[in-house]
Structure 1
Amino acid sequence: MSHLITLATCNLNQWALDFEGNRDRILESIKISKEKKARLRVGPELEITGYGCLDHFLEDDLYLHSWEMYASILKTPETFDILLDIGMPVVHKNVRYNCRLLSFNGKILLIRPKIWLANDGNYRELRYFTPWFKPTIVEEFQLPVNIAKLTGQSLVPFGDAVINALDTCIGTETCEELFTPESPHIAMSLDGVEIFTNSSGSHHELRKLNKRMDLIKGATSRCGGVYLYANQRGCDGDRLYYDGCALIAINGKVVAQGSQFSLKDVEVVTATVDLEDVRSYRAAFMSRSMQASLSKIRYQRITVDVELAVKNNRFDPSITPTAARDVRYHLPEEEIALGPACWLWDYLRRCKGTGYFLPLSGGIDSCATAVIIFSMCRLVIKEISDGNYVVLKDVQKICRMGQEWIPSKPEEIANKIFHTCYMGTENSSKETRDRSRNLAKRINSYHVDLNMDPVVNSIISLFEVATGKKPVYKIFGGSQIENLALQNIQARLRMVLSYLFAQLLPWVRNIPNSGGLLVLGSSNVDECLRGYLTKYDCSSADLNPIGAISKRDLKKFIAYASANFDMPILDDFLKATPTAELEPITKDYVQSDEIDMGMTYDELGVFGSLRKIDKCGPYSMFLKLLHLWTPKLTPRQVAEKVKRFFFFYAINRHKQTVITPSYHAENYSPDDNRFDLRPFLIDPRFPWASKKIDRIVDQYEGKISIDDLNNLEVD
């Protein structure tokens, strides 16, 4: 005996406040779902508005327009004969909720509010919505007048309930609820729910996907059942890239998985499952049966008079259950190649920009940024070759080309939209200039090579005329403050020149109907954390694709791209010593990033992870590293490194208040705008923590006893 049902979930590339566009993509996903004979379709979280509306969720207009779009969906005949699970915000009794609206044949069956809200890291849902703190409670919701006229309903159920079809039971949970210890699907499964939908707005982070997949597989392995996971995909107007990967799992096995990175606006994932597999799987566990019989949690069932299995499906030998498959994971270097590239494409097409401008220094960071742009061009070519008409129209608009122009190589696109510039000074080396020029040639960007010494010298001369004093570099006898000021002049002038060239290069090239270019920054997450950048220098840009990616991962990405993108030129960047080239090069001295910082990039990665992820202050970080780094380092050396890191982190914290918006990829990103909220005026010496660290070092070195250590008191 079998009971086969075809189900659909989807990845949608929604855009915050793009009401009509979001509606059209929802309608397209419903159309595709029906073509694939699906009887249930689930979409991403808040798909009508877009997930990342932020404080727009506080505006009444948003709720009005959401209902208008939902009405448009309900009255479309093509949306009938399929059970729909659609996400949008709803105001109930003057309280805002993040909701799922379930409907069938133009009738609203249930409005299910989110119970547990995401409110850490990048998420602030409690700022906009209220959790539904009434598990299993259902109230009546008064529909807006226009919706009531359309559906013929005045009141509909609002609350924590499940949908009871003629042949199965369906429950919903939303994004964060899957990640909580007591997920709703547990109680629902014990009450007989067989199909679970999860609508998500989950962002990409390096190495994060496996956690999401493990939770879904674990949920259905433990409870039995079918799980449909839908997710937003793309840049919806913020630092996050939502990475799709819509999924269907049954009894701990994945039977369908959507792509994680793609330029497709609509991707529907379907699978045919046998509900008898769920029933036999659950019945085989006696302990589960006992828990189900003893459970006191009972959900109100909203009945819909429909059998989800297509008529005679269970007896048709031509229709078979979808086979299980392995989950597809990308390597971190592949994630870097794909995620930021998709994010940049969405940003460019939605702002209707002319292209990107990048100060290409010849170092690995700006190199990685350039290669991500090239990866973006590769993705566009792939979509065009696959027949993606939307991407073709977008690239024709961006490149200001007619409908007859169909690019066949990524280099063709790069030459139209990507502009690079090497801004050299007397402190620059021939090697970095050559690497910059050769990479630009390989990518086929529009490249400018210039010397900015006259501009730098004019600024120094102006200062000398105004003050009567001329600063000199430390290597020539100047002070540290002179040395730093002379470096910062170069860095800040590069920012000024970047915006000048970004605004005027399209004009220079006679590109019709063009605006300015978007300026790209290229400071990695470790430099941002340490503050190893000049405030308002060329790290100050419109966007930074690598601002939350570590130097270590960028090197792996460049090695990957060298082999997979046929770019052997990248090997030269991997061999080069990271340097800012802001100080004079002499026979005995070449500036080095790691020497300047007083710590390695690998060490910065460890510091960043312990500070942000493990929530360590100086004292607890020292204790952890004492175990990790000794005996390779002495306790005193560990203490010096920890105190040095926190000193420079603290004195440079103010730089994060104006940091360029970066693609969020690393969970120890110091982005001050939302993800990492810390004061920017901190005592950089952390005196009390430093005293405690010093006492432990003294005890290790035999200068004090353990009793003395334990008797440390406040002075």
Structure 2
Amino acid sequence: MESNQYYIRVSAACPLTNIADIDFNLKNIKICIDKAINNKSKAIVFPELCITSYTCGELFNQNLLIEKSIEGIKSICDYSINKDILISVGAPLTYNSSLYNCAFVIFNGKVLGIVPKSYLPNYTEFYEKRWFSEGIGIINKKINLPFQENIPFGTNLIFKSGIFKFAFEICEDLWVTIPPSSYLSLMGANIICNLSASNEIVSKADYRRSLISSQSARCMSSYIYASSGVYESSTDLVFSGHLLISENGSILKENNRFQRENEVIDHIIDVDKLNNERLRNISFRDNIKATPFESLEIDFKFSNNNIENDNFNRFVSKHPFVPSNESEREDRCKEIFNIQTSALAKRLTHTGIKKAVIGISGGLDSTLALLIASKTFDMLDIPRKNITTITMPGFGTTDRTYNNAVNLCKNLGTDLREINIVDACLQHFKDISHDAKIHDVTYENVQARERTQILMDIANKEGGLVIGTGDLSELALGWCTYNGDHMSMYSVNSSIPKTLVRYLVNYVASTQVSKKVTDILMDILDTPVSPELLPKDKEGKIAQKTEDIVGPYELHDFFLYYFIRQGSNPDKIIQLAKVAFKDCYTSETIEKWFKYFVKRFFSQQFKRSAMPDGPKVGTISLSPRGDFRMPSDASFNLWKSYLD
């Protein structure tokens, strides 16, 4: 795979500083550049005015300092030749008899452009207007330096290499009501860099962190932030060298502040993900109309992005639908239960129905649906006896699942009924001239449809609502019998993937039920996933294991997340899966099941086109009325050719 289609490794740096000692500062800036290159970074952001140091005060009025600072920029340019890294350093610049606080953007021996600071703080401890002029309104200008002419100068510059589009703002620019990065993002920039000198007072770091993560979320961008360090003047202020790399609302990397050595942090940014987020967000597109000026794109080209699996430092969760943090997971499970129960409660109160009918198999999905129904009935002060739970043993039902189903219903206090479907299925085989010894799809689907018929008819007879038990993973793969377990009157699990079903059941088992029910739930969690439509093995155990047939659900949930949520290309999904599951599955296994996923996802759309109502819980829903509208006869040849 061409990793550089999607990702870029970026760095934020805080070099050692000596106030007004340009040679010393240059030496340490170059050390940081080398560190970033050794870490395979393609862009590095330094603090505000790092060439001179930020706290020079009245020395900014000294011609010698300004002249030597520009010579320092030339030194960085010379140092950057053939280094294939985008460098942004802070330095003062004289233009039209005014001094500007600027970001100099350098690549392979040249200054690509210069961005002046738009907003100058001049309150409490800040006095920048004493020395500098504001850059607001400066666009499409040109600057001549002693070593280079016609350098773009302005606040509207975007620096582009392929899909990677960098834009720059300086410190206070981020703290204003509408930061320049908001407009620059609307104009296409997906990596915002901030050269900063933000002093520390109690709790300011928390606010700064929140500001950066929020701005990256609002702009659907990455945000690289580098602030001045402890060697700035401490006459009145202390600086901590705060370094942060954020992406779309998440802090990917952060340093420990107050370090006393040259420091560089790096992380990989997924720019393809950011661009896809923008494509699907109509409000972002609409907001583009509000930009007050046009950007000026400056092209340059990285020679090789050089990111492969062995140096891929992004965390890739095996289970993207499940929070990795345990405390967050519990909060999320509680919220999901509230969404599901509220949805079911609305359907019951709207219809005036006070009874529910659920088919209970002793498996995960029907267990979760029953737990949701029980909690909903409690919330509505309806007796649990109004929940009719029906277990329907068939040719493949094992003692383990049967006993778990029966015991769970008894302990939850539902109206438990047992209807054996064997005789009815045998009669149906006879009616349609099917040999019961042939265990094909007809053999399996007859059982699924017989069970659904029973549920629907009892619901009609008693004025109840058939609650569907199928989950999002089964819908994605079409692993359900059309007009069998595929159908219900309301489907509470329709946007819950299988990996999340496990955590939800485990959450209930751990926090909300008696020891006896907990034991039953834990055994259900330990039972292999199976529709139990084929006969038991010789030992009376489950012979038909779903994941042996369709592949591991954790892989399919992973594929589903990146295929739908991010619209990712197959090569990217496979690469991410190989990173996430490197200790679990071989490359061949991952590729095999991804091909299977794509084929089934397209061929089974007709089932999703006719799926019953059910609540959207997470960011992905396959409801044809809500999130996902795809023709049932869409071809997957494009994806097949790509994979082949």
Q: TM-score, normalised by structure 1?
A: 0.42
Larger radius of gyration: 2
